[in-house]
Amino acid sequence: MSIKIVPQEQLTQPNHKTSIMPNIPLVYYPKTGQLYSHRIARIEQLIADSPLSDYLQFCHKIVYAQAQIILQDAVEYDLNQLVQQAAKLDCSPLSLQNLPLDTKWIDYLYYILSATKSVTSEIDNVRQQLTGYTKTVLLAKAQQLMSGHFLQVDSNESLFIWSALSVYYTQLASQLSGKATANTAEQCWQCPVCQSSPTASIIHIGQHAGLRYLHCSLCESEWYVPRAKCTCCDNLENISYYSLDQVLTAIKTECCEKCHSYLKLFNQEHDPDLDIVVDDVNSLILDLETEQLGFAKSGINTLLFSAEQ
C-alpha cells in the first residue's frame, strides 16, 4: 500500500521516510455535516429534471436518514490508538484487519429501513427480509461485502447494508487525526483509510485545483492519485475518455484499454455542485454506453451498489 495513515508523532522521527509528494494533500477525511447536507441539496437540485427522479426520491430518503443518524447517534472510538495500531500492523486504520466489525451499524440499518418504508412493494419486500435476519446473519453479510465478496449478498440487500456501513465508517473517518504519507504513486487502488474500493474520482477546485482524488465508497475519504492513469491496474498508456454530450462534460468515464475497466471522473471545474455518489446515479446512461464499448466498471456506489466482479 503506497499511501499510509501514520500517527502524527511518527512524522518527526529521524528514520521516517518523507513523502515523495510533500506539498500535495494525500488524503481528505470526510466532514460529515457538510457531506450529507451537500448531498441532500444536490439530490433536490437534480430531481426536477432527471429521468431518474423517482429513484432519486428514494435516494433522498436514504441520505436524509444518514444525516439524521449523524445528528442523533454519534460513534466515538480511541482513533489515535487505532492509527498507532494500524501503523504497527502495516494496514489501514479502519480496515477489518485493524478494527473488527461490531454490531453498532445494524442500529443504523434499522433506522434507514424504517425511513424508506412504503416506497415500492419491491423495496418493502427487501426491507422485511432484512428486518427478519438475526444480527449474526447481518454481520456475516456485511463482512462479505467489506471483504469484496459482493456476489455473496443479494444486490438489493447490499444497498441498505452498505448505506448503513457507510454512515458508520464515515463517522469514524471524520474523527481520524493521523497524517498520510506516500513512498510511491503506484497501487493506490484502495482507500488508505478503510481499504475499500472507490466510487469514482474527482478533480477539485480551490487551493489544489486540478488534482485528482479517488472517493471511497465506504468511509467517504478521498486520496490522491495522478491523472491520466488507470485506477485499477496503474496503466499509463491508452487511457481514453468518454462523455455523452455538452451537458455532461463535467462527467466522463476514464477507460483503460489494458485491463478494460473504467471509472467515472467528475470535474468540479465544470460543475462545482457535483456530488460523486448522487451524480454517479444520475448519469447511469453514461455507464450503459461505456459498458457497450466493452469496459467494466471498477467503482462501487453506496446508493446503487453496481459492483462488477
Cell numbers linked to 186: 503506484
Buried b vs exposed e over 207-246: b needs ≥16 C-beta within 10 Å?
eeeebbbbbbbbbbbbbbbeeebbbbebeeeebeeebeee
User: 145 pLDDT exceeds 70?
Assistant: yes
Q: What is the pLDDT of residue 247?
A: 58
Condensed to tens digits (0 to 9), the pLDDT of residues 109-119 reads 999 999 999 88
Highest mean pLDDT among 19-33, 121-135, 180-194, 199-213: 121-135
* pTM score of the predicted model: 0.91
Condensed to tens digits (0 to 9), the pLDDT of residues 163-175 reads 999 999 999 999 9
Beta carbons of 24 and 30 less than 8 angstroms apart: no
**Averaged confidence pLDDT in the chain:** 87
Q: What is the pLDDT of residue 306?
A: 52
User: What is 146-205 written as a DSSP string?
Assistant: HTT-GGGS-HHHHHHHHHHHHHHHHHHHHT--PEEEES-SS---S-TTT-PPEEEEEE--
For 251, the 3-state DSSP assignment is strand
Q: How confident is the model at residue 6 (pLDDT cuts 50, 70, 90)?
A: confident
Condensed to tens digits (0 to 9), the pLDDT of residues 12-58 reads 444 445 454 557 888 999 999 899 999 999 999 999 899 999 999 99
Set out the domains of the chain in order of their start, with CATH numbers.
3-9+18-174 (3.90.1670.10), 186-297 (3.90.1670.10)
Condensed to tens digits (0 to 9), the pLDDT of residues 50-108 reads 999 999 999 999 999 999 999 998 777 778 888 889 888 988 999 999 999 999 999 99
